Structure 1
Amino acid sequence: MTIDNEEVMVKMYDNPTSKDFLTLLPLSLKFEDYAGTEKISNLPKRLSTEDAPAGSKLSVGDFTYYSPWGNLAIFYRDFGFANRLIKLGKIESGIEKLASIKGTVTIEKMN
């Protein structure tokens, strides 16, 4: 991801929802703050929930998909268990930039 011209590295997990997300890249998405805990953005289509867990316990840096709303959610504060939230990956570098996301973020796949 690119936030304010700086790279943020996300390690994607090997699951059907993550693989479906990767087919959408590259993306430019507008993010907004939600509940003082996460940044959210709508995706252009709903992702696969095949083999998805009932929910996930969340922590700082989790890169997730909230299936009821069909949106991307990136956590910059720890959060408890959330139903129907699927972990797509984890931020490996640049976590400190998450809380300050404003406006458009570019997400691209690295080779």
Structure 2
Amino acid sequence: MRIRCTFSDQEFFVRLYENATTRDLISMLPLDLTIEDFSTNEKIAHLPRRLDEGGLADYQDEAPGDLCYFIGWGNLAFFHGDYHYRGDLIRLGRLEGGVEPLLKKGKFALHIEVV
């Protein structure tokens, strides 16, 4: 399954993985959120409620372009730079076509929908 994310003049697609957390996110779509820069390697968007954490699984192939759910704050994390899995991230999917849209700095309205 794929989702389309749009903010400002940017649009990108995410190919979702199959897990309980992703299914819970899909059940909430479409969503209108706010996306903003966090640290130097990601953009984040806070969800209206926490997601099912059943998709938690260890992984070691972290890479820019991963979409994750951060258990600690209950937010989406769109990684455009390197990061390290620490046991508190659930990987939801992978951006298609590169991370360039995430490099636009600022805070924007974000729309997420299933395509």
Structure 2, unpaired ranges of 5+: none
One-letter code of the match for 1:79?
Y
Task: Count how many residue pairs are aligned between Structure 1 and Structure 2.
Answer: 110
Match of 1:107 among 77, 97, 112: 112
d(CA) in 2 for partners of 1:32 and 1:58?
21
Structure 2 length as normaliser, TM-score? 0.85
Aligned twin of 2:47: 43
- Name the SS for the 2:84 alignment partner: strand
The superposition leaves residues 18-51 of structure 1 with CA deviations (integer Å, 9 ceiling, x where unpaired) of 0000111111111121111111111011000115
d(CA) in 2 for partners of 1:56 and 1:22?
25
d(CA) in 2 for partners of 1:24 and 1:51?
16
Moved over 4 A (4+): 54-57
Identity %: 36
Aligned twin of 1:34: 38
Structure 1 length as normaliser, TM-score? 0.88
- Name the SS for the 1:9 alignment partner: strand
- Name the SS for the 2:15 alignment partner: strand
8 Å Cα contact 2:22/2:55 also seen in 1: no
d(CA) in 1 for partners of 2:20 and 2:86?
19
Q: Give me the CA root mean square deviation.
A: 1.8
Identify if the C-alpha distance between structure 1 residues 17 and 101 changes in structure 2 by more than 3 Å, giving closer, same or farther.
farther
1:1-111, aligned counterparts within 5 Å? 1-54=5-58, 58-100=62-104, 102=106, 103-110=108-115
